[in-house]
Amino acid sequence: MTLRSTATHTIRIAAPVDRCQHFFTPIGEEAWVDGWKPSYIVPADGRTEPGMVFTTGSGDDHTIWTLIDFDTTLRRALYSRVTPATRCALVEVRCTSVDGGRATDVQVSYTVTALTPGGVPTLAAYEGDAFIKMIEGWREAIEARLPQLLAEPD
């Protein structure tokens, strides 16, 4: 029985790295993730900063997120997320400028651990083709909204 799954996938977004990093902040994701509406605990305005805490989901999917590290120089974010009914995870997003600054490679890594027997089946979403499909879905959602995302202030 697998209790932990680790996966990494990289997507390319046709946007400068500084803008692209914002797309992967909690408040930035509100613009492209359907149904994503975090409840910001600290800071209450959703400002992205190390130590911020927010929640998503409800019932067995209620998830507590903490931004462990957010580095605008290294273009890295590291989140801890705990869904007490099933799993916990470390989520890392690294953005690297490519194509002369016109695009960004976004490397997304998840390390997910089952906390309960009910959490074991949830690991399948973070493995192999399922994980690649999930992250490619992010790319597709961003690309579909890219003109609006680039027009919005950070």
Provide the pLDDT for residue 1: 56
Provide the pLDDT for residue 152: 78
Q: How far apart are CA 136 and CA 140, in angstroms?
A: 6
**Structural domain tally of the chain?**
1
Q: How far apart are CA 41 and CA 64, in angstroms?
A: 10
Tens of pLDDT, residue by residue over 112-125, are 999 999 999 999 99
Provide the pLDDT for residue 12: 98
Q: Residue 92 sits in a domain of what CATH number?
A: 3.30.530.20
Give the residue numbers spanning the domain of 96. Answer: 4-151
Rounded to two decimals, the pTM is 0.94
Evaluate whether 23 touches 11 at the Cβ level (below 8 Å).
no
> Residues 54-75: what's their mean pLDDT?
96
Provide the pLDDT for residue 83: 97
Tens of pLDDT, residue by residue over 103-115, are 999 999 999 999 9
